[in-house]
Amino acid sequence: MTTTDGLLLLDKPGGLTSRAALDRALRWFPRGTRMGHTGTLDPLATGLLVLCLGRATRLAEYVQRMAKTYRAGLQLGARSDTDDADGLVTPVTGASAPDAAAVAACLAGFVGTIDQVPPAFSAAKVTGQRAYDLARAGQEVALQARPVTIHSIVILSYAYPYLELEVRCGKGTYIRSLARDLGERLGCGALVASLRRTRVGPFAVEDAVSLETNPETACSRLLPAEAALAELPQLHLSTHLVTRLCQGQTIQLGARDLVPSNLEKDAEVVLHDHSGRAVAIATYDARRKLLRPEKVLGAGS
């Protein structure tokens, strides 16, 4: 049976879960095609959803690690039980409008690696159960803070009660939590009114297809599976070393093997054969100049 492999960039519309959008996209491809997405978007959110098809599903974790960029519209002066406009919105009585300088100073405090508590209505787990299942059942949800990284926050516009931001962040960051915590620090409350994911690593929403795309166009827009590895260092080896590594052997690199000088100990690298095809992912021990295979890629993956 012919398999369909690669990455597909999808522009998810509002009002759908990521799973529902994936299920609709799956209809474009042959029955039995494996497909997974690489980062959930809430129903309210629109924008880039990177789908992995076929053998590319083995590489989903590398896309999940990539930085994400969002355009977020926040409403100040109100709170929500879901931290966005889809929940029960309650105006904050007596809330006063913070000035632009106060908003900017407060936002600066969120840049870097911070501890963030996920929203109660989220897929985070509490004692093995999804938080949103407990919250919908009326149970109190106590989630633990976890470290996340926010690379940058840019204020695009501010006219109280509306604040528009561009946020670039790492894996696991909740923009709803950022809005909630910003509102608490400013003392006026805040929630996400609109959210659009515009980038995932090197992938841009401008290059994505919509759910109205026809199957032929969608299939023609598949990216090679190796695109999931775009942000890992690349290493080209001799056929002999590639063969040994693909057999599961740890290999010792010699003086003639060209290794990027900025590789750190235990860095992951993508290994290519003489034709330039990605054949494996390995961990590089810079001190001992060893490569240990982590994932051997079959043909087409």
Query: pLDDT tens across 120-133, in order?
Result: 766 555 555 554 55
CA distances from 142 to 18, 115, 116, 191 (A): 25, 15, 13, 19
The predicted pLDDT at position 1 comes to 39
What's the pLDDT score for residue 242?
Answer: 84
Residues 31 and 101 in one domain: no
Same domain, 57 and 101: no
The token pair at 56 is 């590319």
112 plus 151 within the same structural domain: yes
Is 258 contained in some domain?
A: yes
Can you give the residue range of the structural domain that contains 109? Answer: 68-200
For the CA atoms of 14, 20, 21, 23, the dihedral, rounded to the nearest 10 degrees, stands at: -170
Q: Look up the pTM and report it.
A: 0.89
Helix, strand and coil content of the chain, in percent to the nearest 5, comes to 25, 35, 40
Catalytic residue list contains 42? yes
End-to-end CA distance of the chain: 16
Residue at 1 is within a domain: no
- Do 196 and 72 share a structural domain? yes
| 35 is a domain residue | yes
Could you tell me if 261 and 255 are in contact, meaning their C-beta atoms sit under 8 angstroms apart?
A: no
The pLDDT of residue 299 is: 47
Q: Is residue 80 part of a domain?
A: yes
Judge whether 134 lies within some domain. yes
Structure-token pair, residue 240: 């002999």
Domain count, the chain: 3
Residues 62 and 171 in one domain: no
What does the pLDDT read at residue 181?
A: 97
Boundary-marking domain end, from 154, 182, 200: 200
Phi then psi for residue 208, to 5 deg, are -90, 160
The answer on 178 and 99 residing in a single domain is yes
* Interacting residues of 300 by C-beta distance below 8 A, sequence separation 6+: 3, 5, 54, 55, 225
Q: Is residue 247 domain-shared with residue 281, that is, in the same domain?
A: yes
Residues forming beta bridges with residue 119, ordered by sequence position:
none
CB 7 within 8 A of CB 300: no
Helix (H, G, I), strand (E, B) or coil at 194: strand
Query: Is residue 301 a part of any domain in this protein?
Result: no
Residue 37 located in a structural domain: yes
| The one catalytic residue among 11, 42, 83, 86 | 42
Q: Looking at the structure, do residues 188 and 221 belong to the same domain, yes or no?
A: no
Instruction: Note the pLDDT tens digit of each residue in 16-32.
Output: 999 999 999 999 999 99
Whether residue 73 is found in the same domain as residue 54? no
CATH number, domain with residue 158? 3.30.2350.10
- Which positions of the chain have pLDDT values less than 50? 1-2, 131, 134-135, 299-301
Q: Is residue 157 part of a domain?
A: yes
In sequence order, which ranges of 109-174 are alpha helices (DSSP H)?
Answer: 131-136
* Residues 50 and 86 both lie in one domain: no
Same domain, 73 and 191: yes
pLDDT at 129: 56
The upper half-sphere exposure of residue 30, i.e. CA atoms within 13 Å in the direction of its Cβ, equals 8
Domain edge (last residue) among 151, 184, 200: 200
pLDDT at 142: 65
Q: Which of 230, 242, 235, 249 is nearest to 292 (CA)?
A: 249
pLDDT in the model for residue 237: 81
Residue 292 CB burial class (10 angstroms; 0-12, 13-18, ≥19): middle
CATH of the domain at 241: 2.30.130.10
Which residue, 182, 200, 218, sits at the end of a domain? 200
Q: Give the model's pLDDT for residue 141.
A: 60
Residue 124 and residue 168 in one domain: yes
* Cα distance between residue 43 and residue 195, in whole Å: 10
